[in-house]
Chains A and B, each alone.
Chain A
Amino acid sequence: MINILVPIKRVPDPYIKVKPLPDGSGLDVANVKHEINPFDEIALEAAIRLREQGVELAITVVSIGPDEAEEQLRKGLAMGADSAILVQKQGGMDSLGVAKEIAEIAKSTGAKLVIMGKQATDDDCNQASQMLAALLGWGYCSCASQISLSGSHIEVRRETDSGEQRVSLELPAIVTADLRLAEPRYIALPGIIKARSKPLEKRVPVHNDQVQYRVLSVESVPSRKAGKMVQSVPELVAELKSLGAVS
């Protein structure tokens, strides 16, 4: 039996436009629908599929966030995770803090593999997984598009800046999910009902270090304006020439 940890972050629905508060002190998310970070949902789907391929696995989903993150953990349980842990933290935490909390949970649950999204769609940071790998001293592989477990190794096909790569990592290891790793399943009613009786444990953060990373303010980016419609390719070329974009 291999214990897999899948950290899932509660984020605003990525298909809803989120605006800054009028004073720029934060984002206006009070009445915005929240979801599992899409990349984390892909990671969880991939973990569930490993089990469906016959590998004996116990999958724990973990979230560090407000009490409302229980909603995302229940969804993770409904998808097929076996148990959930909520590290209760109001008001967010920086990536290093998140990595430290997940590291504690990885140790206490005896996890041998962490699969998580390569980035969260709210802050787009792409760094918690790397920090976690460094803190635990485990093998690390980002941007997976395919994974398979065999014995004490995980084989990963991953996307790189210049193409693709196949990598073999010795467990324990951390792998991050890219878009093409798996398509998350539709959750059927029996899954939702079953999720209600699965264990969800609440913990408090272990680390209370002085935070050295702070978001001071946020502002909207002015969106681009629609320009001119042209009627033909020669007209397009003439416009591009007048703008100096082609010679």
Chain B
Amino acid sequence: MAGCLGICFSPLDAAANVAFAKALGQDLSLLAIGASLPNFGAKQIFELEFSPNDPSEAIVNSIWTYIQEFSAIVAPSSIASKDLIGLLAGKLGRPAVTDVIRVVGGNRFQRPILAGSVLATVEVEGSPLLATFRPSSFQPSSVPTLDGSNPAAEVIRIPATPSARTRVLENLQGAQKRPDLAQAKVVVSGGKPLKDANTFELVIGSLADALGGAVGATRAAVDSGIAPNDLQVGQTGKVVAPDLYIAAGISGSTQHVAGIKDSKIIVAINKDKDAPIFEVSDLGLVADLFEAVPELTAIVKR
């Protein structure tokens, strides 16, 4: 068995895989899907000429012969990675562990359940290990060198085998031109009080840009068309753990808090002084967000 294979849907995933392989105590090879990777000191880099938007079953079929030798196949948690790891697990007849936040040792892992209110310690027997992990829980201790000081990895190109039965008709890209939400250092999120897409972008987007951060949204904001679906933060959306999370006009449902509670500092701005979000915030301001957020943006820009 030849160590850990870390799957990357973006270059950012490579660093996360380095940290997770270290926690597992295994050598790392990387599999890049539609991403070009700098050398992070991986033994081998497999490159699959697919985009992350290609059908997951086609990706599985393309990589099938290349994954056999590994004792662990892992990826940072995302919709695409959970699909891929789950399909591989089924095909291998193996269990899988999703959203690992801690390697307890050997084959034991901690993962959140019940919208993050409870932590479960689980044990997986046998090999290979199939897992997705929360990248925010596995920060690389040092930024892997990009200066070419790592020995060149062996690069293996994998030809893409398209799916015969599943066809992508159209890709509709979301609005996120900002830092990756799941790995951003600052996240500014808005809720339903933002009224419409333009107001949301103007108020929330401007503060995020001033702070160099990403934009997030509540389920209610996404449901009502104020924000695109890929910005949804929460139990079933994206889980974030930035240094600074600013929640504007967000009441703080259990499902939303599940996606933000590992943030270092949570700031809440809400005009309802009884909003549950204040119970989990480090700093709270009872104010009309339409006044407070632009004022904050102006001060930050100065």
- Nearest CB on B from A17, distance (A): 7
A38's nearest neighbour on chain B, judged by CB, is B236
Bound Cα distance from A228 to B279, whole angstroms: 10
CB neighbours (8 Å) of B244 from chain A are: 240, 245-246
- Alpha-carbon distance A204/B102, docked complex (angstroms): 36
- Contact pick for A217, options B78, B117, B121, CB 8 Å: B121
Please tell me the number of chain A residues within 8 Å of chain B, measured between CB atoms: 81
Flag if B166 contacts A96 (CB, 8 Å).
no
Q: Is the CB of B55 within 8 A of A180?
A: no
Tell me the A45-103 residues at the B interface (CB within 8 Å): 94-96, 99
For A228, give the chain B residue with the smallest CB separation: B283
Question: Which of chain B's residues have a CB closer than 8 A to the CB of A163?
Answer: 171-174, 228-230
* Known pairs A130-B83, A130-B86, A166-B170; A224 contacts B280 (CB<8 A): yes
Residues of B within 8 A of A17 (CB): 117, 254
Q: Which of B148-169 contact A (CB under 8 A)?
A: 163, 165-169
- B284 interfacial contact with A, CB 8 Å: yes
B280 and A96: CB pair below 8 A? Answer: no
B86-A129 in contact (CB<8A): yes
User: What DSSP secondary structure best describes chain B's contact surface?
Assistant: mixed
Contacts of A161 in B (CB 8 A): 9, 52, 78-80, 230
User: Would you call A109 an interface residue if the criterion is a C-beta within 8 Å of the partner chain's C-beta atoms?
Assistant: no
Least distance between B242 CB and chain A CB atoms (Å): 10
- Least CB distance from A214 to B in Å reads 5
Q: Which residues of A contact B121 (CB under 8 A)?
A: 215-219
Task: Establish whether residues A233 and B280, one from each chain, have CB atoms under 8 Å apart when the complex forms.
Answer: no
By the criterion CB–CB under 8 Å, are A240 and B87 in contact? Answer: no
CA distance A131 to B55 in the complex (A): 15
A110-138 contacts to B, CB under 8 A, are 118-119, 121-135
Assess the B265–A240 pair: CB atoms within 8 A.
Answer: yes
Contact B83 A142 (CB under 8 A): yes
Given known contacts A18-B118, A99-B90, A162-B176, A226 and B279 CB-to-CB distance under 8 angstroms? yes
Provided the pairs A212-B94, A213-B123 are in contact, do residues A18 and B83 lie with their beta carbons within 8 angstroms? Answer: no
> How far is B174's CA from A162's CA once the two chains are assembled, in angstroms?
5
Q: A179's contact among B79, B99, B223, B230, by CB below 8 Å, is which?
A: B223
Chain B residue with the shortest CB-CB distance to A26: B120
- In angstroms, Cα B89 to Cα A236, docked, is 48
Interfacial chain B residues near A173, Cβ < 8 Å: 165-166
Docked Cα-Cα span, A246 to B207, in Å, equals 12
Say whether A245 contacts B90, CB under 8 Å: no
Contact call B122/A214, Cβ cutoff below 8 A: yes
A237 at the interface (CB under 8 A from B): yes
**Cβ contact within 8 Å between B168 and A167:** yes
**Across the interface, which residues of A come within 8 angstroms of B170, CB to CB?**
165-166
Judge whether B274 is part of the interface by a CB distance below 8 angstroms.
Answer: no
Query: Is A155 in the interface zone, CB < 8 Å from B?
Result: yes
Knowing A122-B114, A221-B117, A224-B261, say if A134 contacts B90 (CB, 8 Å). Answer: yes
Q: Are B99 and A124 within 8 A (Cβ)?
A: yes
Chain A interface, >50% SS class: mixed
Any B CB within 8 A of the CB of A104? no
- Residues of B within 8 Å of A179, CB to CB, are 219, 223, 236
Instruction: Name A170's closest neighbour in chain B (CB-CB).
Output: B165
A207-247 contacts to B (CB < 8 Å) = 212-221, 223-224, 226-234, 236-237, 239-240, 243, 245-246
A191 at the B interface (CB under 8 A): no
Query: Are A121 and B168 touching (Cβ within 8 A)?
Result: no
A192 interfacial by beta-carbon distance below 8 Å = no
| CB-defined contacts of B83 to chain A, threshold 8 Å | 130, 140, 142
* Cβ-defined contact, B79 with A160, below 8 A: yes
Asked whether B196 is an interface residue with its Cβ less than 8 Å from the other chain, the reply is no
Q: Which residue of B lies closest to A131 (CB)?
A: B90
Bound form: Cα–Cα A134–B98 in Å: 17
Query: Which residues of chain B from 94 to 144 have any CB-CB distance to chain A below 8 Å in the complex?
Result: 94-99, 108, 112-126
- With a cutoff of 8 Å between Cβ atoms, the chain B residues found around residue A164 in the complex are 171-172, 174, 228-229
Of B116, B124, B229, which is in contact with the most chain A CB atoms at under 10 Å from its CB?
Answer: B229
- A141 cross-chain contacts in B, Cβ below 8 A: 55, 166
Kindly provide the distance from the CB of B250 to the nearest chain A CB, expressed in whole angstroms. Answer: 15
Q: Which residue of B lies closest to A122 (CB)?
A: B114
Q: How far is the CB of A125 from chain B (nearest CB, A)?
A: 5
Min CB distance A100 to B, Å, is 9
In the complex, are the beta carbons of A145 and B229 less than 8 A apart? yes
Judge whether B299 is part of the interface by a CB distance below 8 angstroms. Answer: yes
- CB of A2 closer than 8 Å to a CB of B: no
Q: Which 3 A-B pairs have the closest CB atoms?
A: A130-B86, A134-B90, A131-B90
Given A134-B90, A165-B172, 16 further pairs, Cβ under 8 A:
A19-B118, A39-B236, A96-B94, A141-B166, A142-B79, A159-B229, A159-B230, A162-B53, A169-B167, A215-B121, A218-B119, A218-B121, A221-B117, A227-B281, A228-B282, A233-B299
Seen from chain A, the residues whose Cβ lies within 8 Å of a Cβ on chain B are: 12, 14-15, 17-20, 27, 39, 94-96, 99, 118-119, 121-135, 139-143, 145, 155, 159-170, 173, 178-180, 212-221, 223-224, 226-234, 236-237, 239-240, 243, 245-246
